[in-house]
Amino acid sequence: MREINFDGLVGPSHNYAGLSFGNLAATNNAGAVSAPRAAALQGIAKMRHMLDLGLTQGLFLPHDRPAVGWLRELGFSGDDDAVLAAAWAADPTLIATVSSASPMWTANAATVSPAPDTADERCHLSVANLSTMPHRSIEHPQTVRQLRLAFGDPAHFAVHDALPAALGDEGAANHMRMAPRHGARGIELFVYGERSASGFPARQHRSASAAVARRHGLDPADVLLVQQSVAAIAAGAFHNDVVAVANETVLFTHEQAFEDPADVYAFIRARLPEAVIVEVPAVRVSLAAAIKSYLFNSQLVTLPDGTMALIVPGECRETPEVWAWLQETIAGNGPIRRVEVMSLRESMRNGGGPACLRLRVVVDDAAHAAIDPRFLLDPAKCDRLAALIERHWPESIAPADLGDPALWRQCGTARAALLETLGFAADEV
Ligand code: SUG
């Protein structure tokens, strides 16, 4: 069995509107000028690098933005330009809400339980409702359409609709799976937030995590609902994947990620004796430095030779205590043998690091073959996508541009060209 990383291609409307309260990078960069073309090319470079490492890589498509349909639900009418112009005049935040390129962060697209863990031995995917943030709550209908296309074979996959909005669910960003190896039965840790000293929202509700585990048909003995630490949320860890990441037998975590770390570690050690817990102490890397550098939002991957590599954002190299810790780690005897640095500055400035940009799906060969190949990548497709991005993605977007009809049209043209290049019909996704 293998793990496939499905990265979200950065959409042409990528901008800095500061919509996510509690996400410090996004709020600190509110109002800045974005670079959608560079952002999408940075994403392609990461996907290409994963292929170069010998890993299997897929992609999900940017959603249709601006999402005019949502504005129509709010009572705006007329043709698309009239709807957008009226909404812009009424409240520019509405246009920012429907223009966010947030579907790029596919760690929030769904929670995935691979076949070895589920009662019916199929891979289960629950689309996240992302109901805490308005701009993200509009993603799930388009996400479910893509997932039903990509994973449409019911012999191997079960795709569940988003949970009711009253239960906040943010997908795989708050879920960690550990197993002796990808293809073996594993344990699944669902991390939820209760409250936060800072007043930042705890986006993942315990009841949502429990519902996802139930829907996926997991054995309760293999599941732990874990409370994210109040201190982590208050420091800006709006998702657990900002402070912890797991891969096969390894949990890589900040000391202050969980409210009760001893309980978490005891569960892991009892259920998976070969587990290695790499805990970074706060005296070496403070929560603030972890969140600024996104050390734990790295991708921890198993390479074809069986060793593990950590794919970190460039900000880790720029944060001295983090870089020093990483150097020591790869020089030591631990499971992380290699560090790869990727420049993802554009996404990072909205609080999205390497791990936010990907959804992991573990499959066997038969399930791999059943995936719609339009969602899978190879180097030649990366080349085609890069050329398309160069041609169609805006070079920059300033806040006032969001009200410009020329930008709305450019986003539409860019997405249409993308669909055509990848072989999708205009209304298919
Ligand atoms: O939901 N940023 C995203 C970042 C998501 C990161 N994902 C993971 N940690 N897995 C969010 O806060 C900013 C968009 C804006 O402000 O326009 C934003 O939505």
Q: Where do the domains of the chain lie?
A: 2-65+100-422
- 338-394 confidence digits (pLDDT tens): 999 999 999 999 999 999 999 999 999 999 999 999 999 999 999 999 999 999 999
Task: Going residue by residue through the chain, which has 429 residues, state the pLDDT in tens, using 9 for 90 and above.
Answer: 999 999 999 999 999 999 999 999 999 999 999 999 999 999 999 999 999 999 999 999 999 999 999 999 999 999 999 999 999 999 999 999 999 999 999 999 999 999 999 999 999 999 999 999 999 999 999 999 999 999 999 999 999 999 999 999 999 999 999 999 999 999 999 999 987 788 899 999 999 999 999 999 999 999 999 999 999 999 999 999 999 999 999 999 999 999 999 999 999 999 999 999 999 999 999 999 999 999 999 999 999 999 999 999 999 999 999 999 999 999 999 999 999 999 999 999 999 999 999 999 999 999 999 999 999 999 999 999 999 999 999 999 999 999 999 999 999 999 999 999 999 999 899
| pLDDT number for residue 198 | 85
Q: Which two tokens stand for residue 341?
A: 């640095």
332: phi then psi, degrees, rounded to nearest 5? -85, -165
Residue to mutate, 349, 356, 358, ligand 1, most ligand atoms under 8 Å from C-beta: 356
| pLDDT number for residue 197 | 80
Q: Output the CA–CA distances (angstroms, integers) from residue 276 to 161, 179, 189, 273, in the order listed.
A: 34, 11, 15, 9
Using CB atoms within 10 A of its CB, is residue 94 exposed (0-12), middle (13-18) or buried (19+)?
A: buried
CATH number of the domain at 2-65+100-422, please?
3.75.10.20
Residues lining ligand 1, judged by CB closer than 6 Å? 17-20, 23, 26, 100, 102, 105, 107-108, 133, 136, 173, 238-239, 241-242, 350-352, 356
What is the C-alpha to C-alpha distance for residues 188 and 222, in angstroms, rounded to an integer?
A: 6
What is the C-alpha to C-alpha distance for residues 329 and 135, in angstroms, rounded to an integer?
A: 38
Which residues are known to be catalytic? Answer: 170, 239, 356
Nearest atom of ligand 1 to the alpha carbon of 133: 1
The answer to whether 222 touches 117, Cβ cutoff 8 Å, is: yes
Residue to mutate, 14, 106, 108, ligand 1, most ligand atoms under 8 Å from C-beta: 108
Q: Which two tokens stand for residue 19?
A: 């919509």
